[in-house]
Structure 1
Amino acid sequence: MKDNCSIDLSDSEFSSSNAIFKAVIADLKKKGLGSVDPKPPISEEHLRQLYNPWNVAFNIHTPSGLQNKVWFDVMVQENLRQMKKATFAVGVDSQGADTTNTPDDTIGDGVMYSQPNGVMCPVYSFKKYLSKLHPQLEDLWQRPLDSFEEDASVWYCKSPLGKNTLADMLKTISEQSRLSYIYTNHSVRATTITVLDNAGI
């Protein structure tokens, strides 16, 4: 346009058009239609390291460790910041296995199954997490208390986690776990796809 028509699209008269263009490009990338940098899946070695019961980042006997573990277990769901306590339902499937699912179709329709006798069981962690949340706040992701007693009934503040904190959760977990690679939240999705593919699904 600049060379052939002497019109410079970076001029201030095109600022609102440029803003709309940038917003459309961002939306297309979110939908997977743009060129995005692929995020690596979490390696098997790092997954074993994360799910080691002695890993400080997933220590379900502390507020932040329990929250990290539950966050990671449900990360395949979308709209994290919009999740409430009532977003999930704990139940039993037709085979008698404990489950946690998302009956709210605005969030997703995922199901987590229990791992009986497993110290890192996602359903056990989730139920424990729900039981420790602040009773006067409906947000699912609440800020951990700075100091707590393990047998206390509440481990979280009457304050939701911020958008930026949620956006950096896997980075924080990677650092707390001393992983040799610092992952981003997008890696959880890539990991899910890789694990399913490796299992022939």
Structure 2
Amino acid sequence: MEKSGINILKDKEFHHSREVLSAKRKHLKSQGLGNKKMKADPFSSSEIDMLFEQNLLGTGNPEALLNTIWLNNTLHFGMRGRKEHTDMLFGDIKMMTTASGEQYLEYNERLTKTRTGHSDSRAFAPKMFATPDNPRCPVNAFKQYIRRRPEDALTPDSRFYLSIKRMVQPDASENAKQTWFTMQPLGKNTLGDLAKKMSMKGGLTGRKVNHSVRKTTVSSLLHSNVEATTVMQLTGHKNVASVNEYSSASLQQQQTMSNILSDIGSGSRGLIPQEPTPNTSI
């Protein structure tokens, strides 16, 4: 069936539009634009320090405490982006103690009427151990989060992440227990932008998004020589290749490689051993 004049005209307009967009894309690319970096950048230890110094992390105010709890959960439990945090319930984390008296938190997503489990289950229940002599102890931060929640939000099926109260007054004393959070669950959009928001406030560079923390978990463990197969058990990855994609050489590792290569010129080390010339005499 032959096309009508109207359809032919529409086809010409469609192809013209594609050509215009293609030309514009090439023009932007020639100017170094249009190549937006989509990969998340991990957090460095110095950047984490900066966020604590600026009270964007810590336990001294509601926003910092919420950020810290979210950061610790993502780091220590290897949690995935927005959905896993959004679905999280207060009873998913249990306070435990080892036989030698060390406290730790254990994350174990329980099955409920509305949750029937995930296909990407972890090999073990992730744990977050206390560091008593460290003012940034993750277990202590969790205790503060419990202390600041409404009493009715301490039931196992309560949403884990709660919205911050609009009006929060300074505590009258160190032992005062003022509630910082409401019964309203934290919105998924707010939860999904926590890393981006606190990074912008802290003046951090690079593309910092929620996924940056999960990338920090993987890269930090790999750089500390934890086996990729062990990291997989924490994060729930299905294969080693997926884990290795998260990690690029750290600055220290790059410097080490550079020093090795620089030493080639001096002949001190780094050279590939030269194989001996075979003796061809009989």
TM score, norm. by length of structure 1: 0.74
Partner residue, 1:180: 205
| Equivalences for residues 73-88 of structure 1 within 5 A | 73-75=72-74, 76-78=78-80, 79-88=84-93
The 1-side partners of 2:41 and 2:200 are apart by 16
The 2-side partners of 1:89 and 1:80 are apart by 16
**Native 8 Å contact 2:39 2:207 kept in 1:** no
**How far apart are 1:63 and its partner, in Å?**
1.0
* Identity of matched residues, %: 23
The 2-side partners of 1:182 and 1:56 are apart by 21
Partner residue, 1:140: 160
1:190 aligns with 2:191: no
Query: Among residues 85, 89, 102, which one is paired with 2:94 in the alignment?
Result: 89
**Native 8 Å contact 1:175 1:182 kept in 2:** no
Read off the aligned partner of 2:162 and give its amino acid letter: Q
TM score, norm. by length of structure 2: 0.54
Q: Number of residues paired by the alignment?
A: 164
1:111 aligns with 2:153: no
| Equivalences for residues 14-29 of structure 1 within 5 A | none
**Native 8 Å contact 1:56 1:177 kept in 2:** no
Give unpaired runs (5+ residues) of structure 1. Answer: 1-35
Partner residue, 1:42: 43
Partner residue, 2:190: 165
Task: Look at both structures and tell me which one has the larger radius of gyration over its CA atoms.
Answer: 2
Give unpaired runs (5+ residues) of structure 2. Answer: 1-36, 111-116, 227-282
The 1-side partners of 2:163 and 2:61 are apart by 13
Structure 1 stretches of 4+ with a deviation exceeding 4 A read 105-108
Stretch of structure 1 that moved more, 121-130 or 73-82: 73-82
Read off the aligned partner of 2:66 and give its amino acid letter: Q
Partner residue, 1:200: 225
Partner residue, 2:140: 124
The 1-side partners of 2:72 and 2:149 are apart by 17
The 2-side partners of 1:123 and 1:103 are apart by 16
Read off the aligned partner of 1:46 and give its amino acid letter: E
RMSD: 2.1
**How far apart are 1:190 and its partner, in Å?**
0.8
Q: 1:135 to 1:167 in 2, by over 3 A?
A: same
SS of the equivalent of 2:109 reads: coil
**Native 8 Å contact 1:58 1:65 kept in 2:** yes
